[in-house]
Amino acid sequence: MTPVPETDAPAARPLQAPAQQVSQDGRSTRWEAHRRARREELVQAALRAITQHGPGVGVDEIAAAAGTSKTALYRHFADKEQLYLAVAERVSQRILRDLAAAAAEHTRPRAALGAVIATYLRLVEHDPDVYWFVTRGAGAMANASGLSGTGAAAASGAASDPLAGLTQAVSAEFARAITRQLRAAGLDAATAEPWAHGLVGMVRAAADHWMSTPVPEGGRRTPADVLAGQLTALAWGGLSRAPLTAPSSSSRTTAAGPDTAEDTTLKTDRPDPAVQHHLEETP
């Protein structure tokens, strides 16, 4: 049988897209970069309009602040809700960045907690209209833009808590910090997550009440740093003195109720003095 002569295999060539495809991809990349930059410009214009017109600002005012038309604005945002959520996301990113920077300046847990609370309150106080727009502004924006009834309800309901992502991120950061402290003290860290969420919820609720309570004539609102100190004392007092282990079966009240059984939780669930000293800090 005559052997088949071997032939040199063709040299491998690098995969290369056709020139037309490369050109199209380049245009697509440039357009995407332009689109992102323009959206950011529109979000910044929206923030300026909110500061000028208040949390009930409408799309007309935002378009005017951007030097464009509503039609052009809607080329970048499908509807008012998308614009609203883009503004809320930008505000949330700023808050989270500033809170992280405040916490990073301190190594002692209580000092870091106080700095985070104070920073949040100062941000709220500095830009109250932006804060109210983000936390309550969806419905107001819808009404200012001519929506009513189900339209306004849809706009406010779809973004009922635009700071939810921020709340989750801050709560997660607090939970990690609390976990480190509990583990360093040799304690169970299972309570860190609910404590963190409770702490963040407390500060948000206090900030809402603080900013929405009318200031008496001739009076003044409690300064941000004073309120921050009060909230820090309340939060840290709970964190450093709360029961830190799950109650044992003998410490729980019976089904008959607390009046017929001794509740010894506070007696059995305290850490020993050495652990307590580890958790407690002076301001």
Greatest CA separation found in the chain? 112
Residue 73, in any domain of the structure: yes
Residue 16, in any domain of the structure: no
Residue 92, in any domain of the structure: yes
| Cα 189 from Cα 176, distance rounded (Å) | 10
Task: For residues 185-200, give the mean pLDDT.
Answer: 87
Dihedral pair phi/psi, residue 12, rounded to 5°:
-70, 135
Burial class from Cβ neighbours inside 10 Å (0-12, 13-18, 19+) for residue 130 reads: buried
| Cα 123 from Cα 226, distance rounded (Å) | 15
pLDDT at 273 over 70: no
SS3 per-residue string spanning 54-110: CCCCCHHHHHHHHCCCHHHHCCCCCCHHHHHHHHHHHHHHHHHHHHHHHHHCCCCHH
**Would you give the DSSP letter of residue 1?**
-
Domain with residue 237: its CATH number is 1.10.357.10
Read off the pLDDT of residues 202-239 as tens digits, 9 standing for 90 and up: 999 999 999 999 988 888 899 999 999 999 999 888 76
* pLDDT score for 47: 95
Record the pTM: 0.69
pLDDT at 171 over 50: yes
- The range of the structural domain enclosing residue 273 comes to 37-212+223-242+267-279
| Of 40 and 24, more confident | 40
Read off the pLDDT of residues 35-89 as tens digits, 9 standing for 90 and up: 889 999 999 999 999 999 999 999 999 999 999 999 999 999 988 889 998 999 9
Q: How many domains does the chain have?
A: 1
Residue 233, in any domain of the structure: yes
Residue 247, in any domain of the structure: no
Residue 70 CA to chain centroid, in angstroms? 29
**Would you give the DSSP letter of residue 9?**
P
| DSSP, residue by residue, 196-256 | HHHHHHHHHHHHHHHHHSPPPTT--PPPHHHHHHHHHHHHHHHHHHS--SPPPGGGSPPTT
Residue 46, in any domain of the structure: yes
**Among all chains, which residue has been given the structure tokens 């332009």?**
34
Residue 254, in any domain of the structure: no
pLDDT at 143 over 90: no
